[in-house]
Amino acid sequence: MMMWNGRRISFLRLQLRLCFQLCRGFDKKSHGVDFLGRDFIVLGKLIHMLGTCMKCSAMHPEASTLALPLLDMLSSRDISRHVEAYVRKSVLFAASCILVAVNPAYVASSLVEGSSEMSRGLEWVRTWAISVAESDTDKECYMMAMACLQLHSEIALQTSRALESSDTNTICYLTLKCV
C-alpha cells in the first residue's frame, strides 16, 4: 500500500491508471512525438513496460482488467505489424506477459458467462504468433513467437482443466440439491 494525498491506495490501482493512460492515444502525433514513426524505440520501451506491469500483476484479479486494453492496443495493425523488429519483439514480450499473468480460472469463468472479449484477445495472440513464426524475417521474433505459442497452449490447457472442474462442481452441486 502507498499513500497519496493522505489516502491509502494499492500499487495495482496506480498501475491500472498508468496503463490506461499509456494505452490511449499511442497512434496520434502530439508535441512532436511520433510513436509509430521515428520514435519507435520509445513505443517499444512503452510496450515492454506495459508487459512488465502485466507480469507484476500475475494471477491477481486485476490482471484481467489490465489485459483487455493492452490486448486491444497490441492487436492494432500499426503496432503488431510494425516495420521495426524492435517493436514487434516488445509486442511479443507483452503478449507473453499477458499469457503468464491472466488466471486460467478467470478465462474459464468468462467463457462460462458468455463474455468473449478475453477469449477473442487470447485467440488473436495465438493466430498472430503463428503468423509471426511463419513469416517474420527476424530470427528473434520467430523464437519469441514460438515461446508465446507454448505459453498459449499452457493457458489453454489450464483453462480447459478449470472448465472441467467447474462442470464437475456444478454437477455435484445440482446432484446434492436434487437429493
Quick one: which of 116, 45, 125 has its CA closest to 80?
125
* Residue of 134 and 9 predicted with greater confidence: 134
Q: Does pLDDT of 125 surpass 60? A: yes
Q: What is the pLDDT of residues 139-179, one digit of tens each?
A: 999 999 999 999 999 999 999 998 888 765 543 333 344 33
pLDDT of residue 101: 92
Does residue 91 lie within any of the structural domains?
yes
Domains: count for the chain:
1
Q: Which domain covers residue 74, as residue numbers?
A: 33-178
Q: What is the pLDDT of residues 37-88, one digit of tens each?
A: 556 788 888 889 889 888 888 877 778 878 888 898 899 888 888 888 999 9
Does residue 11 lie within any of the structural domains?
no
Does residue 89 lie within any of the structural domains?
yes
Does residue 18 lie within any of the structural domains?
no
Does residue 20 lie within any of the structural domains?
no
